[in-house]
Amino acid sequence: MSRLAKILSIAGSDPSGGAGVQGDLKTFSALGCYGMAAISALTAQNTLGVQGVHIVPADFVAKQIEAVFADIAVDAVKIGMIGAARNVEAIATQLRRAGAKNVVLDPVLVASSGHTLGGAKVRAPIREKLFPLARLVTPNLMESALLAGGRMPENASDMRAMALKLHGLGAPAVLVKGGHLPDGEAFDLLYDGADFTEFSSPRVATRNTHGTGCMLSAAIAARLGQGADLKEAVGDAKKFLNAALAAGATMEIGAGHGPPQPFFALWGRG
């Protein structure tokens, strides 16, 4: 039998299907992996924004993760929205117990609409409990500032300083996502603990950007689970996201910001 990479998403649910575990599972599948999900929070959201959040109890988050690892050999883990400090502890305990590898931590703290998805109480526990378990931490500009303190990065130099600061706080490797920089190409910066690597791609003219951060981190986890090294995984994920954005630019999903199209290779464009 051929080997199939098995990737677990621990994240919130997006009923509109563009982000969260729904978006992660689509990304895993599009990249030829078997996707699984442990849900940490339920959200009421759509392409217009987040209307409500319901946190899954920590003991049940733990039970979901335990059930997966008890039965299936997990090749990589992507962590997204956690929602509460007690869930951070539950996730960390289960991942330590399972000896989880290739953990990609996408610290989802605030939705693009501004709705809080974790609040200030999860920042310190994420740093203390999950940074040491991660192979890569992938904050966007706002999340990097919330986790490390200080002002939000405004340029490549700021992003380098922020990556170093997060590394000093315990993250073994950091990808600071610069998609929200106002000018130039879509620029992300990887610091692996020794070297910086820059990743740039042309910006795609599209309003369908819902879940792009989830898609990038999920794609990185998928490629790590398939055996790629860190730089290769990030580069491949960037290419995948850019193609998904281009393919999804003409899709009409909702009245607001729809998602990219992860199945561009199967469905074609539009």
Where in the sequence numbering do the catalytic residues fall?
177, 209, 211-214
247 with 231: CB under 8 angstroms? no
Question: Considering only CA atoms, which of 197, 201, 173, 175 is closest in space to residue 187?
Answer: 201
- The torsion angle over the Cα atoms of residues 139, 143, 146 and 149, rounded to 10 degrees, is 50
Partner residues linked to 198 by β-bridges: 189
Backbone angles phi, psi at 8, to 5 degrees: -105, 130
Q: What is the DSSP letter of 30?
A: H
Q: Which are the contacts of 162, defined by CB distance < 8 A and separation ≥ 6?
A: 144, 145, 148, 150, 153, 174, 176
Neighbours of 179 (CB within 10 A): 17
Burial of 101 (0-12, 13-18, 19+ CB in 10 A): middle
| Strand positions, DSSP E, the chain | 6-13, 34-46, 49-55, 76-79, 103-105, 136-137, 174-177, 186-191, 196-201
What secondary structure does DSSP assign to 41-67, as a single string? EEEEEETTEEEEEEEPPHHHHHHHHHH
